[in-house]
């Protein structure tokens, strides 16, 4: 586990952590959440920098559970320890929890409504755009040198285009990424 962020200029309140994730959970759903978390945690509030965010995102994708749930736990933990992690996750799931119950109750009424279908198609397009923006931006900032760019391109090819199983891709890319990071750190230490 990562220790709480001790470099933060001011102590972030549990209330502010809760309401940031409450807003994210209330106004967004689907794949666009990660990019919204990025905007709130990195761009607007500077809770973490780009490198820390990408590390947290990578960890959240490896761990069991939802990526954005794991990411909220990571960011809450970085800011206020276990209490911050619990509050961030609670804020994130408060509205979706009750919305899922209400939607389940209303499902028969909206299941075949063409307006609902059209609205969800539009939301899907927006979420894809937000994910693309976050991926391009964090990929550009997170890649250091040609090795990182090659790994990112290879991962995109294997997962996005060839649709290889994620376990196979992770098993192959992990040793390569560790070796490149080790070589980069070794080069930095030599200077």
- At 29 the three-state DSSP class reads coil
Q: What is the pTM of this model?
A: 0.57
Handedness of CA 177, 131, 2, 86 (dihedral sign): negative
| CA 157 to each of CA 18, 139, 150, 151, 161: distance values in angstroms, whole numbers, following the listed order | 37, 15, 10, 10, 5
Handedness of CA 73, 53, 78, 28 (dihedral sign): negative
Q: Are 78 and 90 in contact (CB under 8 A)?
A: no
**pLDDT tens digits, residue range 51-109?**
999 999 989 988 888 889 999 999 999 999 999 999 999 999 999 899 888 888 887 77
**pLDDT tens digits, residue range 110-156?**
777 888 888 888 888 988 888 888 777 776 766 667 777 788 788 88
**pLDDT tens digits, residue range 48-59?**
999 999 999 989
Q: Write down the H helix ranges in 10-49.
A: 14-27, 33-38
pLDDT band at 2 (very low <50, low <70, confident <90, very high): low
Written as six digits, the tokens of 53 are 């965010």
C-alpha to C-alpha distance for 146 and 143, rounded to whole angstroms: 8
DSSP 111: T
Tallying the residues shown for the chain, one arrives at 191
C-alpha to C-alpha distance for 117 and 73, rounded to whole angstroms: 32
In this predicted model, which residue has the larger pLDDT, 38 or 110? 38
Q: Write down the H helix ranges in 28-66.
A: 33-38, 50-62
In this predicted model, which residue has the larger pLDDT, 49 or 189? 49
Q: Are 190 and 164 in contact (CB under 8 A)?
A: no
């Amino acid at each position: 586990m990562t220790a709480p962020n001790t470099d933060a200029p001011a102590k972030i309140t549990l209330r502010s952590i809760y309401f940031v994730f409450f807003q994210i959970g209330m106004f967004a759903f689907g794949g666009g959440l990660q990019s919204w978390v990025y905007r709130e945690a990195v761009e607007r509030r500077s809770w973490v920098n780009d490198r820390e965010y990408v590390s947290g995102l990578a960890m959240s994708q490896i761990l069991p559970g939802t990526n954005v749930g794991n990411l909220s736990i990571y960011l809450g933990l970085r800011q206020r320890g276990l209490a911050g992690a619990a509050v961030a996750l609670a804020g994130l799931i408060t509205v979706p929890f009750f919305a899922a119950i209400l939607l389940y109750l209303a499902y028969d009424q909206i299941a075949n409504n063409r307006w609902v279908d059209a609205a969800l198609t539009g939301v899907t397009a927006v979420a894809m755009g937000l994910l693309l923006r976050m991926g391009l931006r964090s990929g550009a900032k997170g890649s250091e040198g040609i090795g990182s760019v090659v790994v990112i391109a290879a991962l995109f090819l294997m997962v996005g285009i060839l649709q290889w199983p994620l376990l196979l891709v992770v098993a192959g890319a992990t040793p390569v990424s560790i070796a490149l990071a080790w070589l980069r750190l070794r080069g930095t230490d030599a200077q």
